[in-house]
Structure 1
Amino acid sequence: MAISKTLMASLLISLLLMHLVEANQVKNNVAQDSLPTKIDCGAACATRCRLSSRPNLCNRACGTSCARCSCVPPGTSGINLDVCPCYANITTRDNRRKCP
């Protein structure tokens, strides 16, 4: 009788541990799927800032914003901001739009 209780308890604990491990794996897979994809900020910002009157300033601001948002709107400075709202909503201390 004592052996069957011990066997039953160890079986239940084993099933509980297996369930917890499986739930953790599913959680990790969901978290990895929701991560933003990495983009080449240097190339994306070079394209965006190629016609800027201040390319160094444009590239620096674009690079900072790209690192935060993992996206850069297509086209040149000032257009297509609706494609990447995170990028478009970053502002300076003076509440002006930071990203070109």
Structure 2
Amino acid sequence: MYVTAAVEGSVNTIGYGLAAIGGAIGVAIIFSAYIQASARQPESAGYNRTWLILGFAMAEALALFGLVLAFAVGG
């Protein structure tokens, strides 16, 4: 019997990959909403920028939690 592909390593890398994909999708949605809001009402861009930064930080925090948990559980 021949093995054509072997999976080696930890399953934690798959979990972190899913967390990174989720964070990337969240950031993309947040930035696209900001661009649309700024295009519709340019005078509110400064107000919306605050929510942009807050939403970006929250979405990226999820990816960072996934990275920390991948190292904490896997090590």
Same fold at TM > 0.5:
no
* Higher RCO (CA < 8 A, seq sep 6+): 2
Q: Going by fraction, where is helix more abundant, 1 or 2?
A: 2
TM-score by length of 1: 0.33
